[in-house]
């Protein structure tokens, strides 16, 4: 067991590694009674093509999400939910584009719940019967997603920005994808990615970390795992240009929307790590377009917008910068927005104020087991490590670094999606 420290914050992180390769990160908060357990596997909806040694595999879109659902089955008539319901735990899971996360929240029987948490994750139960049964459920969920205006907007915009990337496809998969999922597909993915050496667990809450480590060892020692061979993800080559610079569509939305996106090669920012780059880009976006920005206040006061929501994420070899705007005046707002993007401004005073605010939020995170769990996971997913010097990294952001990033934000590959209100058919 390693005992590490969050520098400058007087907080400890306990790190335990089992011989199988599973690493567990533990942060203790004795002020509360509950415990949050998460198990993360870096396998998401975009990972449909991979190679192990010299053998290539292809699985249908939606496989990651389907596996996540099916994973809760322990027998034909018993699920992990049945166990945790009786044991005082609340289990859930979600699938993203690039990872899957299993979640257990509990306020009692923490050792027993941890033991069963490991049991249900590392004992796959996939049969033709339960696969067929699950297909109907997932198809219904996929159809609901397609009927949701926000999902339609998201995926239409991603298809307008990316020509080849698997980010263009809905996480659940289309109906035909789901129908094509087989038991063999599930086992191929499970055996390739759901190995302890390719996963990590995070425990945050009130518990004894040494007791948790012993439970993990005792549990996993009774299981057999094949030697881990790291799967190689086969990525498509995505062109720099967007597919469509502009599109206008009609949907059943309560308010017309504008979705503005920038597609920037990641290597333009190669001197910055993922975690630091994302933090600084979010600072730039929040200062210019966030809740307290002058630009947002100006457009709101003029009645041009109802809401504005900036975001940023990595998509394959690109940085995607997105702004969603609720507005009844899309053409005027797009014009104003592009003018602002061409003249991004940040004063040292604004930056220092935002850095202080970010530091305050970071310190407050240590009172919340969910925020801490998420913070630990994000560091590992972005930079392959827990960010122990988070306070130092935030404080080390300089005005020159921010200006350097602003100068590298390329507006050439942009895509605008205007979403108008679909008029309902009326009968005389």
What is the reported pLDDT for 425? 58
- For residue 119, the surrounding DSSP H or E stretch is helix 110-121
What is the reported pLDDT for 428? 46
* Radius of gyration for the chain, computed over Cα atoms and rounded to the nearest angstrom: 23
Token duo for residue 13 = 């992180």
DSSP string, 186-243: HHHHHHHH-SGGG-EEEEEESS-HHHHHHHHHHHHHTS--PPP-PPEE-PPPPPSS-S
- Domain 2-233 in CATH 3.40.50.720? The answer is no
Beta bridge partners, 324, equal: 259, 309
What is the reported pLDDT for 422? 85
**Residues 49 and 58 sit within 8 Å (Cβ to Cβ):** yes
SS3 for 30? coil
Report the C-alpha dihedral over residues 154, 156, 157, 161, rounded to 10 degrees: 130
Of the candidates 395, 299, 397, 403, the one whose C-alpha atom is nearest the C-alpha of residue 346 is: 403
Q: What is the CATH number of domain 246-421?
A: 3.30.830.10
What is the reported pLDDT for 147? 83
What are the residue ranges spanned by the domains of the chain?
2-233, 246-421
| Cβ neighbours for 147, distance < 8 A, ≥ 6 positions apart | none
> What 8-state DSSP symbol labels residue 388?
T
> What's the predicted TM-score (pTM) here?
0.95
The single residue listed with the structure tokens 């899971």 is: 93
Distances (CA, A) of 341 to 183, 265, 267, 283, 409: 49, 18, 21, 15, 9
**Residues 186 and 126 sit within 8 Å (Cβ to Cβ):** yes
The low-confidence residues of the chain, meaning pLDDT below 50, are 426, 428
How many helices (H) and strands (E) are present in the chain, helices listed first? 15, 17
Per residue in 218-248, pLDDT tens? 999 999 999 999 999 999 999 999 999 999 9
The single residue listed with the structure tokens 């509950």 is: 34
Phi then psi for residue 276, to 5 deg, are -65, -40
2-233 and 246-421, same CATH topology: yes
What is the reported pLDDT for 345? 87
Report the C-alpha dihedral over residues 135, 165, 374, 100, rounded to 10 degrees: 30
């Amino acid at each position: 067991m390693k005992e590490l420290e969050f520098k400058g914050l007087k907080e400890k992180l306990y790190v335990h590694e089992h011989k199988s390769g599973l690493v567990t990160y533990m942060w203790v908060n004795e002020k509360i009674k509950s415990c949050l357990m998460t198990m993360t596997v870096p396998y998401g909806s975009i990972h449909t093509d991979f190679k192990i040694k010299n053998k290539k595999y292809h699985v249908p879109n939606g496989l990651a999400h389907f596996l996540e659902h099916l994973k809760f089955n322990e027998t034909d008539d018993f699920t992990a939910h049945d166990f945790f319901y009786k044991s005082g735990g609340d289990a859930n899971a979600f699938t993203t584009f690039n990872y899957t996360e299993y979640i257990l929240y509990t306020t009692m029987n923490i050792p027993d719940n941890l033991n069963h948490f490991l049991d249900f994750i590392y004992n796959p139960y996939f049969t033709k019967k339960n696969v067929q049964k699950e297909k109907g459920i997932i198809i219904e969920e996929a159809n609901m997603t397609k009927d949701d205006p926000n999902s339609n907007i998201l995926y239409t915009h991603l298809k307008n920005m990316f020509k080849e990337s698997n980010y263009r496809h809905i996480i659940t998969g289309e109906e035909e994808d789901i129908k094509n999922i087989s038991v063999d597909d599930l086992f191929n993915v499970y055996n390739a990615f759901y190995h302890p050496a390719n996963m990590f667990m995070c425990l945050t809450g009130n518990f004894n970390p040494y007791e948790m480590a012993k439970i993990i060892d005792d549990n996993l020692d009774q299981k057999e795992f094949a030697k881990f061979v790291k799967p190689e993800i086969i990525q498509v080559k995505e062109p720099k240009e967007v597919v469509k610079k502009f599109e206008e569509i009609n949907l059943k939305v309560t308010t017309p929307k504008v979705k503005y996106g920038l597609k920037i090669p990641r290597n333009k920012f190669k001197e910055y790590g993922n975690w630091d780059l994302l933090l600084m880009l979010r600072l730039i976006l929040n200062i210019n377009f966030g809740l307290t920005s002058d630009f947002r206040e100006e457009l709101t006061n003029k009645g041009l917008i109802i809401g504005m929501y900036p975001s940023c994420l990595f998509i394959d070899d690109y940085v995607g910068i997105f702004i969603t705007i609720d507005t009844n005046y899309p053409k005027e707002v797009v014009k104003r927005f592009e003018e602002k993007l061409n003249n991004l401004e940040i004063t040292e005073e604004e930056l220092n104020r935002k850095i202080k605010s970010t530091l305050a939020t970071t310190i407050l995170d240590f009172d919340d087991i969910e925020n801490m769990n998420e913070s630990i996971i994000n560091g590992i997913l972005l930079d392959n490590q827990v960010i122990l010097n988070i306070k130092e990294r935030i404080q080390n952001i300089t005005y020159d670094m921010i200006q350097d990033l602003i100068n590298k934000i390329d507006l050439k590959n942009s895509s605008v999606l205007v979403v108008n209100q679909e008029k309902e058919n009326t009968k005389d």
